[in-house]
């Protein structure tokens, strides 16, 4: 069954705790936390202290997507804040493999991701080291962007690698995800859908989440 990870970037930040409760009660599998530093991307969001404050509101797994330079500096902070998985960018400055290793050393799941213009083969050196590959289907940094069609082959590439080497590898997609694009991504091999505005614009996102979970050949009927 497809997993659904609402992106908290689209929530009402003045009610972050309550929004996390809403996400959990709606049947979501993870809460996706977009961390931006104003350097790797031009936007700023929140850091480990905010995540730590939000952690007591819910038991839903926290999936942190670090859009920051030299992420190894902050891995321990995000682990202590209560994140369950942390994903870092291939394009970020610093030792990205060291960041992946540190995430694992702290007992968390590690993910790797890239922006649409980046060659998919930049993932190759990380694939057997991570638990999650996040295929960005928009450029990192802002919500509400249009889905990049050219990213579908990247999903297929990672899916083929996973079938040959690690069937348990999670393949997530983030950016412009809605009913149509989400279904296409699952058909290409993704098993986790990250979505912001398509879910948070709804007063009750539970029916939409239930629908999306039905995507895929192994969905419960």
Active site residues: 34, 174
Q: How far is CA 206 from CA 28, 62, 112, 197, in A?
A: 8, 19, 28, 14
Cβ contacts of 151 within 8 Å, gap of 6 or more: 116, 135, 136, 137, 173
* Inter-CA distances, 61 with 6, 21, 83, 86, 206, Å: 11, 12, 7, 11, 17
Q: What distance in Å separates the CA atoms of residue 84 and residue 80, rounded to the nearest whole number?
A: 10
> What phi, psi does 204 have (nearest 5°)?
-130, 110
> Which residue matches tokens 């891995």?
75
Largest CA distance in the chain: 45
Strand partners, 174: 136, 194
């Amino acid at each position: 069954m497809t997993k659904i990870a609402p992106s908290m970037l689209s929530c009402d930040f003045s009610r972050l705790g309550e929004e996390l409760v809403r996400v959990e009660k709606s049947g979501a599998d993870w809460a996706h936390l977009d961390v931006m530093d104003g350097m790797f991307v031009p936007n700023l969001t929140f850091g480990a202290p905010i995540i730590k404050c939000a952690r007591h509101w819910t038991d839903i797994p926290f999936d942190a997507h670090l859009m920051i330079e030299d992420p190894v500096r902050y891995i321990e902070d995000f682990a202590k804040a209560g994140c369950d998985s942390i994903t870092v960018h291939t394009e970020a400055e610093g030792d990205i493999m060291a960041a992946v290793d540190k995430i694992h050393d702290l007992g968390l799941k590690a993910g790797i991701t890239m922006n649409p213009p980046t060659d998919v083969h930049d993932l190759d050196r990380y694939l057997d080291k991570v638990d999650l590959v996040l295929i960005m289907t928009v450029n990192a940094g802002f919500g509400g962007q249009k889905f990049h069609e050219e990213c579908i082959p990247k999903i297929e590439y990672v899916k083929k690698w996973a079938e040959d080497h690690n069937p348990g590898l999670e393949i997530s997609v983030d950016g412009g995800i809605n009913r149509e694009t989400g279904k296409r991504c699952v058909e290409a091999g993704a098993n986790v859908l990250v979505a912001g505005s398509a879910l948070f614009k709804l007063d009750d996102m539970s029916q939409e989440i239930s629908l999306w979970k039905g995507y895929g050949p192994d969905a419960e009927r």
